[in-house]
Amino acid sequence: MENVVLIVHLLLALSLIVVVLLQRSEGGGLGMGGGGGGAAGGRVAGRSSGTAMGKLTWVLAGAFICTSMVLTVIAASSSSNSSVLDRLIDAPARDEAPLDEGLTAPRAPEAGDDAPVLPTAD
């Protein structure tokens, strides 16, 4: 279920990008493009553009938001109630040899270990 919603979400994202890039610029965006009647773009404030591309953009944006919320609910329901730090603390400890002042370092390999022993520069 999660994979299906995720694929639909990605397709909506790509479609939304394409539809927004294909729309005609109305000018006045961030003060660039010159003219156009200010931030309202030459249309009455509070009214939608009414073009097919504009309506498609709103539909895709609404569907994208819905799939985002569905993915959030799915992720919250499948997550555990423990923290990442709790999982690190509960992890098995490595075989370590103590050093001075409470610091630890990995144990030096011995002759019977499978790991190769590297020569030391003395």
List pLDDT tens digits, range 54-105: 899 999 999 999 999 999 999 888 876 767 677 676 666 666 555 556 555 5
Reduced to 3 states (helix: H, G, I; strand: E, B; else coil), residue 54 is helix
Here the tokens at position 85 are: 């730090």
What is the band of 1 on the pLDDT scale with cuts at 50, 70, 90?
confident
What is the band of 23 on the pLDDT scale with cuts at 50, 70, 90?
confident
Contacts of 89 (CB under 8 A, 6+ apart): none
Supply angle C-alpha 68, 55, 65, rounded to 5.
5
Distance CA 8, CA 69 (A): 13
Using an 8 Å Cβ cutoff, are 27 and 41 in contact? yes
Using an 8 Å Cβ cutoff, are 5 and 74 in contact? yes
Using an 8 Å Cβ cutoff, are 94 and 105 in contact? no
pTM of the model: 0.52
Residues for the chain: how many in total? 122
List pLDDT tens digits, range 39-52: 554 555 555 556 88
Using an 8 Å Cβ cutoff, are 72 and 6 in contact? no
